[in-house]
């Protein structure tokens, strides 16, 4: 395999195949290329069987891209290799062996709406008020527990002294029981139950450990406790584990990602080989200098510095507007101007923001200027009512024990089966400890249900579900969907539902037709063409923008922008309380501010050529108008990299703002002291902000400054671990690559 096109660091990452490897891949450093080349190298040059390789990514898009690239690279067949997301990988393992822990292998996967329905049912059964115990809050709590691998019993034991949390633990226990009864898993279960299976069944564990001799994980900084544990279990035997990530882009702490997984990788495995990919192929050096300087203010990080061969480039432009309307008009005007003067397509532009609510004023401005745009993260295709209805029908055809899906479709289209009837059926199912479908089959014996309702239910069970289930084995999925639509006259139902809005009705029908197209595409491309595989694929699909190829400006949150790049980027709302977000500012927590700073780093590094940062003097958001303070991240930008387009008289910078009593005292104190005299007194030199210390300069006897512990003397070294005697904090052992140490 030809490796000559790789830079030295990339080549090192590819060729180091044995033992644990940590690849610290900075933004735009070509990590996908490294991973795909590494896989190719293992197969072609090292003779590794494709079936012995497992490559994990976080999105279907990334997995598909990696698979395509590997197939292009290889001459041999690589179909036996697993390249998938965490969830897809776990589904494959569970479909084969979940029966060993008491579950049905034909399980369905519940989405967030199904979860809400089920939690509401559980609350009702436990006589808990869904106003006091909000279902989405409970789902979030259960998700957090599963992410940390706490089962209901462990969770209950942890919260014995907290009455409210103890009740939530009861909901969690009942919720899991109902999932099992329905032969269903939620998304968190996919990893949670896989870890449970591997820990409880040595035969299954040995099989996968023996199979996956080489494991690679992309975006390792975004892994949760459960994902981390899964990988650790699988990799224990051969230790050929290669993780790729960038701690500076760890921005998902709020959804369970644990930055310590990447920061402490070297503690989890012996003799870890670390490779830093610091050459950036995306952005100009000016943009990278700004990103490097901002992120260097974080303490909890591995030291790296991105560089580019694109030395020329435009300065980062800063615009201060009167308010959000003027800010948005500026963005629209600049897009129109740059597009016209530089002959750029609209898809070259992206507008990024911290909070979704900020998009409204930008949308208004773009509409006024007649500039087409696309918002990433709108209503997803598979979340639309008509699609969810059809998926529910397919789920019941596959697995009639699925109570949530049964309840969704029993009166869609309307069959005269009212809510009171459904409640009676649910009560009977709960009493008998059976599924709703079992009660429906036996409906003729249920005297509590009216004759009319019993007839409607019998018609639904026999002539709809029964007939469709017989078709499952005969027809391909696309034809089966058509039969569902035909048998229940779903198009007629849509017409009835939206009879006041013909355009809306037609749009809904088009969505249904598109769903048939999805099934036809599945039949063409999938090896397994059965309904179960189709439903699994649908559940695991994270739908990207349907219009990404159309020439439109992209609007999105900075979180959504991760992994994307654009020639011209605008980051709006660079104000303290908005970015960093108010919650992080109020918390006074270093870790929360550091995550916000990493988010800023991600935003800056989306820009390839031109970057604009905008802020306002006052902003109206969530119905309130407040004066603005420039983001502290603006103050961290190197002066030589920025160009201020206007100077606002009333601009209040972060450095001028007194946020608390301590800050006021510090400012007053720093202004009155003679720094030179103090430095002489303590035998120190004044720290320069301009020069960054080379970690190789840190030697025993050196006096150093740590951003958190202050001044100290290096008294010992072992590898990257440095023992320092601090003047105020005593003796501490730290890793010199984890933090910023400056030699005094």
- Residues recognised as catalytic: 31-32, 218-219, 249, 606
**β-strand partners of 553:** 373
**β-strand partners of 714:** 724
Strands of 580-688 (E only): list them.
Answer: 607-616, 618-621, 624-627, 642-644
| Sign of the alpha-carbon dihedral angle for 126, 128, 134, 137 | negative
Q: In what order do the strands lie in the sheet with 721-726?
A: 730-735, 721-726, 710-718, 703-706, 742-743
Give the helix/strand (H/E) hosting 561: helix 558-561
Which tokens belong to 478? 């696309």
Question: Is-contact 276 7, C-beta < 8 A?
Answer: no
Query: H helices within 103-237, ranges in order?
Result: 112-125, 135-147, 152-158, 163-181, 187-200, 202-211, 225-235
Phi, psi of 76 (to 5 degrees): -85, 165
Q: How far apart, in whole angstroms, are the C-alpha atoms of residue 655 and residue 675?
A: 19
Residue for token digits 């979030």? 140
Q: How far apart, in whole angstroms, are the C-alpha atoms of residue 685 and residue 676?
A: 8
Question: Is-contact 234 92, C-beta < 8 A?
Answer: no
Residue for token digits 């229940």? 488
Q: What is the largest CA-CA distance in the chain?
A: 96
Q: How far apart, in whole angstroms, are the C-alpha atoms of residue 194 and residue 77?
A: 28
Which tokens belong to 509? 């029908």
Q: How far apart, in whole angstroms, are the C-alpha atoms of residue 56 and residue 448?
A: 52
Q: How far apart, in whole angstroms, are the C-alpha atoms of residue 7 and residue 403?
A: 55
- 3-class DSSP assignment, residue 621: strand
- DSSP label at residue 690: S
Phi, psi of 701 (to 5 degrees): 95, -20
The alpha carbon of residue 156 and the mean position of all alpha carbons in its chain are separated, in whole angstroms, by: 28
Question: Is-contact 695 710, C-beta < 8 A?
Answer: no
Phi, psi of 575 (to 5 degrees): -135, 140
The alpha carbon of residue 2 and the mean position of all alpha carbons in its chain are separated, in whole angstroms, by: 34
Residue for token digits 């450990």? 209
Question: Is-contact 627 617, C-beta < 8 A?
Answer: yes
Strands of 572-709 (E only): list them.
Answer: 607-616, 618-621, 624-627, 642-644, 703-706
Which tokens belong to 418? 């009212």
User: What length does the chain have?
Assistant: 744
CA nearest to 277, candidates 65, 14, 46, 571: 14
Contacts by residues 3-8 (CB-CB < 8 Å, ≥ 24 positions apart): 3/37, 3/41, 6/33, 6/34, 6/37, 7/279
Half-sphere exposure at residue 620, Cβ-oriented, CA atoms within 13 angstroms? 8
Q: How far apart, in whole angstroms, are the C-alpha atoms of residue 607 and residue 53?
A: 34
Question: Is-contact 695 712, C-beta < 8 A?
Answer: no
Q: How far apart, in whole angstroms, are the C-alpha atoms of residue 576 and residue 634?
A: 10
Which tokens belong to 235? 């990799």
**Residues 422, 389, 542, 603, Cα dihedral to 10°:** -80
CA nearest to 335, candidates 619, 548, 562, 572: 572
């Amino acid at each position: 395999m030809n490796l000559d096109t790789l830079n030295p660091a990339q080549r090192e990452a590819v060729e180091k195949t044995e033992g644990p490897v940590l690849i610290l891949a900075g933004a735009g450093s070509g990590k996908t290329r490294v991973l795909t080349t590494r896989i190719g190298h293992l197969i072609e040059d090292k003779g590794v069987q494709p079936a012995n390789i497992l490559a994990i990514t976080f999105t279907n898009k990334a997995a598909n891209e990696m698979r395509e690239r590997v197939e292009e690279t290889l001459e041999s067949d690589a179909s036996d290799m697993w390249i998938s997301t965490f969830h897809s990988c776990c589904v494959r393992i569970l479909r084969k062996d979940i029966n060993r822990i008491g579950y049905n292998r034909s399980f369905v996967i519940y989405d967030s709406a199904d979860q809400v329905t089920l939690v509401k049912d559980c609350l009702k059964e436990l006589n808990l008020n869904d106003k006091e115990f909000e279902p989405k809050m409970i789902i979030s709590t259960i998700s957090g527990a599963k992410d940390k691998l706490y089962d209901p019993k462990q969770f209950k034991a942890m919260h014995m002294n907290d009455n409210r949390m103890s009740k939530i633990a009861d909901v969690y226990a009942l919720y899991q029981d109902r999932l099992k009864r329905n032969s269903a898993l939620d998304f968190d279960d996919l990893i949670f139950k896989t870890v449970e299976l591997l820990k409880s069944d040595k035969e299954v564990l040995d099989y996968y450990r023996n199979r996956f001799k080489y494991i690679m994980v992309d975006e390792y900084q975004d892994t949760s406790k459960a994902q981390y544990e899964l990988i650790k279990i699988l990799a224990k035997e051969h230790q050929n584990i290669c993780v790729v990530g960038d701690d500076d882009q760890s921005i998902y702490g709020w959804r369970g990602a644990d930055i310590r997984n990447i920061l402490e990788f070297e503690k989890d495995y012996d003799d870890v080989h670390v490779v830093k990919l610091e050459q950036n192929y995306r952005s100009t050096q000016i943009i990278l200098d700004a990103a490097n300087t901002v992120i260097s203010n974080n303490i909890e990080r591995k030291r790296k510095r991105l560089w580019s061969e694109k030395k020329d480039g435009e300065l980062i432009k800063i615009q201060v507007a009167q308010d959000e309307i003027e800010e948005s008009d500026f963005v629209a005007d600049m897009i129109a101007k740059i597009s016209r003067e530089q002959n750029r397509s609209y898809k070259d532009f992206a507008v990024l923001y911290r909070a979704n609510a900020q998009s409204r004023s930008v949308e208004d401005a773009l509409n006024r200027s007649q500039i087409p745009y696309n918002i990433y993260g709108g209503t997803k295709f598979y979340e639309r009512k008509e699609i969810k209805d059809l998926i529910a029908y397919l789920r019941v055809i596959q697995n009639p024990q699925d109570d949530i899906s049964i309840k969704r479709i029993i009166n869609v289209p309307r069959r005269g089966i009212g809510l009171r009837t459904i409640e009676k059926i649910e009560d009977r199912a709960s009493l008998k400890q059976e599924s709703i479908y079992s009660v429906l089959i036996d409906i003729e014996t249920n005297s509590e249900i009216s004759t009319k309702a019993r007839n409607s239910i019998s018609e639904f069970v026999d002539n709809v579900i029964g007939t469709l289930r017989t078709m499952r084995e005969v027809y391909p999925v696309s034809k089966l969907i058509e039969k569902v639509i035909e048998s229940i006259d779903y198009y007629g139902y849509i017409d009835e539902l939206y009879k006041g809005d013909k355009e809306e009705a037609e749009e809904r029908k088009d969505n249904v037709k598109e769903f048939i197209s999805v099934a036809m595409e599945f039949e063409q491309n999938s090896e397994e063409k059965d309904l179960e595989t189709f439903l699994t694929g649908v559940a695991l699909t994270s739908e990207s923008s349907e219009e990404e190829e159309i020439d439109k400006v992209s609007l999105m949150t900075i979180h959504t922008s991760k992994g994307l790049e654009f020639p011209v980027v605008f980051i709006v709302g660079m104000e303290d309380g908005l970015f960093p977000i108010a919650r992080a500012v109020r918390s006074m927590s270093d870790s929360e501010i550091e995550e916000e700073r990493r988010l800023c780093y991600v935003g800056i590094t989306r820009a390839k050529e031109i970057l604009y940062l905008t802020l306002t003097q006052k902003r109206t958001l969530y119905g309130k108008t407040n004066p603005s303070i420039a983001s502290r991240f603006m103050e961290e930008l190197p002066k030589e990299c920025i160009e201020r387009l206007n100077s606002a008289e009333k601009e209040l910078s972060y450095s001028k703002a007194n946020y608390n009593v301590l800050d006021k005292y510090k400012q007053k104190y720093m202004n009155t002291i003679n720094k030179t005299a103090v430095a002489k007194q303590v035998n120190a030199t004044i720290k320069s902000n301009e020069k960054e210390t080379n970690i190789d300069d840190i030697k025993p006897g050196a006096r150093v400054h740590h951003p958190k512990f202050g001044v100290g003397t290096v008294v010992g070294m072992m590898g990257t671990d440095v023992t320092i005697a601090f003047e105020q904090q005593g003796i501490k052992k730290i890793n010199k690559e984890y933090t910023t140490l400056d030699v005094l």
